[in-house]
Amino acid sequence: MSSEFREPPRGLRRRMAGLRSALPGSRRELLATAVSFGPAVGMAIILEMTFDVLLPVIPRGLTLAVALLLLSARWLRRRAVPPPLPVGPQRLPPRVEPLVGREAELEKVTGLAVERGLVVVRGVGGIGTSALAVNAGWGLAPEPERQYYADLRGQDPDGPEDAASVMERVLRTLGRPLGPAESAGGAEQEVVAALQDTGALLLLDNVERWSQVRWLPHRVRGSRLVIAGDLKVDTGDRIPRDVAVVQVGPLNADDTVTLLRSPSTADRIEADPAATKKLAELFLRRPAVTVEIRGWLTENPYVSMAGLLNDLGQEPHDRTLQKVRTMQLARVSPAARRLLALLAKTPIAEVGIDAATALAGGPESAVTAAMEELSRHGLTVKVRESRIRLVDGARAIAPPPDDPQAARQRLVEHFADRADRSAELLPHEEAWAWFSTEDRALLQILKEPSPAPWAAGPLWRIADALEVWFSLEQRHQERREAARALAHAATVLGDPDVRATAELRLCLTALVLGEPREAQRHFDAAAGLQSGVESWPAQLHLARASTLLAGGDEFAAVESSLVQYGQALPGGDATGQATRWINMAVLQMRRGQVCGFKDETDQADRLYADALSTLVQALGIARQAEDVHAEAHARELLALVHWYLDRAHDAAANWQKAAELYERSRDRIGLARCQVHRAATIPKGSHEEAVALLRTAVGRLPATGVSTALARLHLARMEPRNARSECERGLAALAPWDGMVEPLQVTEIRRRLEDLRPDGPFTS
């Protein structure tokens, strides 16, 4: 490991300098140097920062920052950050006409949606739940501008989307900010805010488990929610009894015959009604099977009903659809058959034209034609324009591909190249839209259980791009998921430097989410994979300072780490210098807190005055660096110091400016902290305004951490009737510190929550 941390050259892969070996000229350097956390990770990351701002019972300086870790954002400089771009709203698919044999169910779904607000349309695959739900949706919301539709089939071919991914998809469909997707409560509030009194319909299609949508509100005034899918019943994952459910069953034989009839099948139906009825009773009770059989009969005009009955009778009844699709596969061209074989072996379930072209390695026009052919024969389904996925069971009948490893390599390298280019362009609209569509595919590729050696370079580049994207969107759980996948891949491929990068990312994410024990564990793992402290890159020193602050009040060790951080910074790194000064101010303020706890008011005021001077310098450097996050954080701290020094007007002005900067950069956690600060300074007579601010803030904050605990403490003070509930939630937010050394501020908040909590001990 080189003892010198070098400033990388231009380009996303090189700019995202990391914990890596410096092996000049080697293939390893060409493919594996894209690991982040150098002085330019590509996104400003501000960790858990909360401060007390004077409720009457709380002494000055109760809750200063647990930690600050600000990584530079050169790639965002001079770029205005636009508001989030929803991928949708996607409107309802076209009605299914005619919807044979479902009149009673359609009326029931519509009536229950109006009466109850939320209705589940449930049935096994192929039974027609989606068609029924879509037609009901058009009846409930005929105007397209009042329709919101999300197909929740995910990118994992072997499993459903988890609840967090579903939250993200739903909020994006509704055009709402994604920060609340970190918590079920926050996501629920955003759904209510988007739909209430709008007369709108939200239809979530292809839901597989109730746990995916358990977080949804059961009623939103003035709107309707419909959930459609199989919704398998497992122990502990049952649909609540208060939720209306319409169970969709098989068609009766007469309706099946009606659905089977078409101009090309009518003569054969009339010629052999007995065979047709028997065929319907035994094999065609699911509409999906009937429609596919009707299409197959249209393409095979010389097959009689008796002949078809005989063919299907040779297979078990539960394999009827598989038999039909096998017959369809026999009719497709070699090019379409080859594409199907390759799609069946890909790690992702849904691809667009560009990805399919990379997979097949052929001209786009030929691949597009093959995609259309597979769709025409019912072997794939169009999810969105120019995007397809295999139908259920198609993987089982697909022939083995001729060269699956080469095809997979083309696909992974295609996504790595696109991720590189798109990350360079963020936050421009085209790049934003691409990541919004493909981030789950990138994550699924990164989670390859047994990556081949050739995949190292592309996977590292995909991981770097996801780190930029998920950090920009503040989707920290998915950021953690990507870092874990990177750690696994690095372990399998035997790359300790990339593994150290992944561990440090996990450390940073844990700090953001208020999990100090996890943060320390991952930091220790990252540090253990590096050589001596003297050769650490700057951000590892900064991470050490942050984990120390999160786990106690070892100020001397923190100061030493900050000094080493400053020494390790490359020359001319203005953002790094701003970060150093901001952290020094945090340290001065934390020391002031301890003095305040000991009633050493004069010494506390001197430390706050020193912090004020330090922050003024930090603010100037942050402006020079054009780093919005650094400026926002410096102003947030300035506001607190001004408040501590009884300069209320200056404090209010800086909080307002900090909130504007956080909002501009879409830092919802930073914005939430400012809301907590402002709420705590509102006079007693305006508790309604303060409570509204706090309620908004807790929807944006992580479930654990000092900020969340402080917000709950303020709510307990302002709403005595809810004091017990708020105190329990506040204590739960501090649970990560249970059984470990904790900062004095955490101890103090815990004590005050316990003092305020009425009627007995806390139970989680």
Structure tokens at 743: 């900062």
Q: What is the pLDDT at residue 759?
A: 67
- DSSP, residue by residue, 3-60: SS-PPP-SSHHHHS-BS----TT-HHHHHH----BSTT-SS------------TTS-T
d(CA 247, CA 105): 8
Distance CA 91, CA 59 (A): 53
Do 43 and 468 contact (CB within 8 A), yes or no?
yes
**624 token code pair:** 């020079």
Is the torsion defined by CA of 750, 756, 757, 761 positive or negative? positive
C-beta pairs of 719-726 under 8 Å, 24+ apart in sequence: 719/687, 719/691, 723/756, 723/757, 723/758, 724/757, 724/758, 724/759
- The DSSP-derived string for 671-715 is HHHHHHHHHHHS-GGGHHHHHHHHHHHHHHS-SSSHHHHHHHHHH
Using DSSP's 3-state secondary structure scheme, residue 255 falls into: helix
Phi, psi of 148 (to 5 degrees): -130, 125
Q: State the residue for tokens 């914990």.
A: 19
Phi, psi of 376 (to 5 degrees): -65, -30
Among 713, 670, 695, which residue's Cα sits nearest to residue 56?
A: 713
Angle between helical axes of 538-550 and 574-597 (0-180°, round to 10): 20
Q: How far, in Å, are 38, 173, 408, 458, 503 from residue 28 at the CA level?
A: 18, 41, 21, 12, 20
Tokens linked to 207:
């839901």
E strands, 257-335, where?
A: none
Strands 201-207 and 224-229 turn out to be parallel
Helix H, strand E, coil C: the string for 493-529 is HCCHHHHHHHHHHHHHHHHHCCCHHHHHHHHHHHHHC
Residue 344 makes CB contacts below 8 A (sequence gap 6+) with: 390, 394, 395, 398, 401
pLDDT digits (tens, 9 = 90+) for 450-484: 999 999 999 999 999 999 999 888 888 899 999 99
How confident is the model over 390-440, as pLDDT tens digits? 888 888 889 998 889 999 999 999 999 999 999 999 888 889 889 988 999
Number of H helices, E strands in the chain: 33, 8
Tokens of 133: 């739900």
Distance CA 639, CA 650 (A): 7
Residue 739, phi-psi category: left (phi > 0), alpha (psi -120 to 50), beta (remainder): left
Which pTM value belongs to this model?
A: 0.81
Give the separation between CA 468 and CA 475, rounded to whole angstroms: 11
Q: How far apart are CA 29 and CA 38, in angstroms?
A: 16
Per 3-state DSSP, the chain is made up of helix, strand and coil in percentages (nearest 5) of: 60, 5, 35
pLDDT at position 464 is 94
Q: At what angle do helices 287-299 and 320-329 cross, to 10 degrees?
A: 30
Spatial separation of the C-alpha atoms in residues 134 and 105, rounded to whole Å: 12
Distances (CA, A) of 746 to 63, 637, 682, 735, 751: 8, 19, 23, 10, 9
Residues 6+ apart with CB under 8 A from 362: 335
- What does the longest C-alpha to C-alpha distance in the chain come to? 102
Cα–Cα distance, 325 to 292 (Å, whole number): 8
Structure tokens at 163: 């609840």
Beta bridge partners of 247: 122
Residue numbers in the chain where pLDDT is lower than 50: 1-80, 82-87, 762-764
> 224 phi and psi, to 5 degrees?
-130, 140
Q: How many CA atoms lie within 13 A of 106 on its CB side?
A: 19
Query: Angle, nearest 10°, between helix axes 687-700 and 668-681?
Result: 160
Per-residue pLDDT at 148: 95
DSSP-assigned beta bridge partners for residue 246:
121
The C-alpha atoms of residue 652 and residue 643 are separated, in whole angstroms, by: 8
Helices assigned H by DSSP within 47-201: 103-116, 129-140, 163-174, 184-195
Torsion, Cα of 550, 554, 558, 559 (10° steps): 150
Q: What is the pLDDT of residue 154?
A: 86
What is the distance between the alpha carbons of residues 464 and 148, in angstroms, rounded to a whole number? 32
Element (H, E) at 294: helix 287-299
Cβ atoms of 674 and 90 within 8 Å: the answer is no
- Intra-chain end-to-end CA distance of the chain, in Å: 46
Q: Six-digit token pair at 171?
A: 């909020």
121 pairs with which residues across the strands? 228, 246
- The structure tokens 């009719």 sit at 331
Residue 39, preceding peptide bond in cis (omega within 30° of 0)? no
How many Å apart are CA 194 and CA 172, to the nearest integer? 11
d(CA 130, CA 93): 10
* Contact yes or no for 422/372 (Cβ under 8 A): no
Instruction: Provide φ and ψ at 517, rounded to 5°.
Output: -65, -45
Token pair 């900067």 in the structure block, residue: 661
Q: Of 320, 302, 299, which Cα lies nearest the Cα of 311?
A: 320
Whole-angstrom Cα distance, residue 432 to residue 422? 8
